[in-house]
Structure 1
């Protein structure tokens, strides 16, 4: 029996478990390693949801939410065993083809993973904005963190900060990431 070629197709509810596993494994070696989903993202606004299917297995995914003339990539992921083979680019191209004609921009948010940063640039995205993602863990200082009595200061926290505070925050916290918005004009 010959192998079925890779197909890009709409997400189906039966894909959820493989979608979750593909996303989890794809994010495992990135700055987003703890952005674990136990259920698939649902959207209030219109969305494009595609998967890359190889022999009946989900090996890639892209979800794009549409808000009037702007669209945002919520998730894009390729299973580690299938990365660097053009699957993400094929998913992106297929999703752009499905965007309604009134959509003029597509954006995505990512952190400091060089492979992701390079990929977005190769796909025609440009950096439009940046700010910081800051994580406080149990070993980090409690300075500046409060909670109402009788609670103690948070043990874990995820916060945003202005990019101007990067040096100061990197000296206080182990996990500080530059979060970048990448933007691309949509042309057909």
Structure 2
């Protein structure tokens, strides 16, 4: 296991040759969180102008990723993940610091992100100048949940798995009915404030 020291990584732009390392980093990071079902077998292709960064340790192993979609004066973190063994060592913060320089140079005024209830992720956003602005629910119908409230077109079975958004006001009722209910928070950071 490498020493977890963010000073030992190089931050650079993502390259196509990083694809496997990017996926491995994201999968290993996400599988330990409430986003475990959002692991992907391949990297999402981002629109032109996106910021795509990786943190690379000695030997070329990708230990952190940060993808940000940019739309004029606003930007959204699409993925931020740090490989286990390197978490809580400042890798994500170094990636963010690098991205902020680029965003500010492009005149981006607001950077936002969405996350669930993972305490470490919420603390990281708060520690890095983000403030919660919005919240709603991610609700999953899954194994053991009653699908009777859901309908499907004729010829199809009742749902096996469903992912829907819910109102925060309905949290208690939804938590009583479904096993997987998460508060999803939008965090935003005003890049015009120093």
Shorter-normalised TM range: over 0.9
TM-score relative to the length of structure 1: 0.95
Moved more, 38-47 or 149-158: 38-47
1:183 CA displacement: 0.4
Which of 19, 22, 26 in structure 2 is aligned with 1:19? 22
**1:62 matched residue in structure 2:** 66
Q: Is the 8 A contact 1:146 1:152 kept in 2?
A: no
State the match for 2:87 in structure 1: 83
Structure-1 residue corresponding to 2:147? 142
- Deviation at 1:143? 2.4
Partner of 1:8: 11
Contact 2:31-2:39 at 8 Å conserved across structures:
no
- TM-score, normalised with respect to structure 2: 0.92
SS across alignment from 1:81: coil
- For residues 147-186 of structure 1, give each alpha carbon's deviation from its aligned partner in whole angstroms, at most 9, with x where no partner exists: 1111122110000011011000000000000000000011
Post-superposition, which runs of at least 4 consecutive aligned residues in structure 1 deviate over 3 A?
A: none
* Residue number among 105, 110, 118 corresponding to 2:110 in the alignment: 105
Partner of 1:159: 164
Q: In structure 2, how many angstroms separate the alpha carbons of the residues matched to 1:151 and 1:142?
A: 13
- CA contact under 8 A between 1:64 and 1:71: conserved in structure 2? yes
Once the 2 structures are TM-superposed, how far is the Cα of residue 79 of structure 1 from its aligned partner? Answer: 0.3
Q: Deviations over 1:91-122 (max 9, x none)?
A: 00001111143210000000000000011000
Match of 1:132 among 125, 130, 137: 137
Pick one of 180, 184, 187 that aligns with 1:179.
184
Long gaps (5+) in structure 2: none
**Structure 1: which 5+ residue stretches go unaligned?**
none
Number of residue equivalences: 186
Residue aligning to 2:125: 120
Alpha-carbon shift at residue 28 of structure 1 (Å): 1.5
